[in-house]
Amino acid sequence: MNLPIIYHPDYVTPLPEGHRFPMPKFRQLYELLLSDGVALTEQFHIPSRPPQEWIELVHTPDYVQAYCKGTLDAKAQRRIGLPWSPALVNRTCVAVGGTILTCQMALNHGLACNTAGGTHHAFPNYGSGFCIFNDLAIASRVLQKLGFVWKVLIVDLDVHQGDGTAFIFQDDNSVFTFSMHCEVNFPSTKQKSDLDVPLPVGMEDDAYLQTLASFLPDLLSSVKPDLVLYDAGVDPHVGDCLGKLALTDTGIFRREMQVLSTCVSSGYPVACVIGGGYADDLKSLVWRHSLVHRAASFVYRQCRL
């Protein structure tokens, strides 16, 4: 079987003119993977909307219901940064289902990729920074509840600290949170991950990859996770609107190869989500998001999964 990829056909919600959150990138990523021969149509799996009680394993019922019904107050909506609509509610819930399915397929096949996901700024009772429900946390809890895993390692390489995920799993030994992020960036108030590695503004490829290499292998050896959940945000890129680091396309690809080959060759299954990425040049942004899928396809074949 080829590398499993999760695709969200409805993951395109129109936003006001000039809004920076580029929803069309999700459909364009799917189309690019097909047109470049990175994936075949039969590799894509479409998720379904999970039961609300699964979302409430992480988020408070009052928050889930208020968001789904569109009754959040204006301040809470502004904190999320996305205009509410019934279509966005469905897309958000299905996106959570996509990360759950990605994790399940990673456990079955050793490696799987999502064409969305990585909403790590969502807290139990509120959303933040374009993140409504925390798919990383929900997927971890669901798989634990179903008895598929006990120990999860979240490797978050988005340029912004995974503050919501860190808060959710504080003092929880069953989920280890590792966030390597720009030290001077959103969120202004950082939470405490199990391991935080703040990076200086302007860090380039080699220094970044050397830093990652100094932590990841030891983490795998000490945590020994049943599953690695990898947030492959591309906003550390030098051209990202919200980044402040200076990785190149080559550096991003090397990072993906480093993470995936290190984990998979050591026998740890990996579920990938694409995380953040913000750029005026949508074509270049979609290319960067495709790099984790390109690396995963290579690693999948190389390791004969």
pLDDT at 13: 43
pLDDT classification of 9: cutoffs 50, 70, 90 = low
Kindly tell me if the per-residue pLDDT of 289 is higher than 90.
yes
* Tens-place pLDDT, residues 27-86: 899 999 999 999 999 999 999 999 999 999 999 999 999 999 999 999 999 999 998 999
Of residues 214, 216, 231, 301, the one with CA closest to residue 266 = 216
Amino acid at site 239? G
pLDDT at 260: 98
Does residue 136 or residue 305 have the better pLDDT?
136
Q: Quick check: is 10 in a domain?
A: no
For residue 206, the enclosing domain spans 20-302
CATH of the domain at 30: 3.40.800.20
pLDDT classification of 18: cutoffs 50, 70, 90 = very low
Hunting for tokens 């798989």 — which residue is that? Answer: 143
* Tens-place pLDDT, residues 91-103: 999 999 999 999 9
Q: How far apart are CA 113 and CA 119, in angstroms?
A: 15
Q: How far apart are CA 241 and CA 19, in angstroms?
A: 12
Q: How far apart are CA 33 and CA 91, in angstroms?
A: 21
Q: How far apart are CA 191 and CA 161, in angstroms?
A: 8
Domain count within the chain = 1
Of residues 143, 113, 118, 149, the one with CA closest to residue 2 = 113
Average pLDDT over residues 156-183: 97
Kindly tell me if the per-residue pLDDT of 16 is higher than 50.
no
Kindly tell me if the per-residue pLDDT of 12 is higher than 60.
no
Q: Quick check: is 8 in a domain?
A: no
Q: Quick check: is 199 in a domain?
A: yes
Average pLDDT over residues 279-293: 95
Alpha helices in the chain (DSSP H): 24-35, 52-55, 61-69, 74-80, 86-109, 135-145, 163-168, 205-213, 216-223, 249-265, 282-302
- Determine contact, residues 95/115, Cβ cutoff 8 Å: no
Q: Quick check: is 208 in a domain?
A: yes
Amino acid at site 76? A
Kindly tell me if the per-residue pLDDT of 131 is higher than 90.
yes
Kindly tell me if the per-residue pLDDT of 20 is higher than 70.
no
pLDDT at 152: 98
Does residue 11 or residue 178 have the better pLDDT?
178
Average pLDDT over residues 9-34: 66
pLDDT classification of 304: cutoffs 50, 70, 90 = confident
Q: Quick check: is 67 in a domain?
A: yes
Of residues 50, 51, 98, 90, the one with CA closest to residue 67 = 90
Peptide bond into 187 cis (omega under 30): yes
- Determine contact, residues 159/129, Cβ cutoff 8 Å: no
Q: How far apart are CA 118 and CA 157, in angstroms?
A: 10
Q: How far apart are CA 168 and CA 181, in angstroms?
A: 18
Q: Quick check: is 204 in a domain?
A: yes
* Tens-place pLDDT, residues 190-213: 999 999 999 999 999 999 999 999
pLDDT at 8: 73
Q: Quick check: is 2 in a domain?
A: no
Q: Quick check: is 288 in a domain?
A: yes
* Tens-place pLDDT, residues 228-280: 999 999 999 999 999 899 999 999 999 999 999 999 999 999 999 999 999 88
pLDDT at 24: 78
pLDDT classification of 10: cutoffs 50, 70, 90 = low
What pairs with residue 197 in β-bridges?
180
pLDDT at 17: 43
pLDDT at 15: 43
- Determine contact, residues 227/143, Cβ cutoff 8 Å: yes
Average pLDDT over residues 139-154: 98
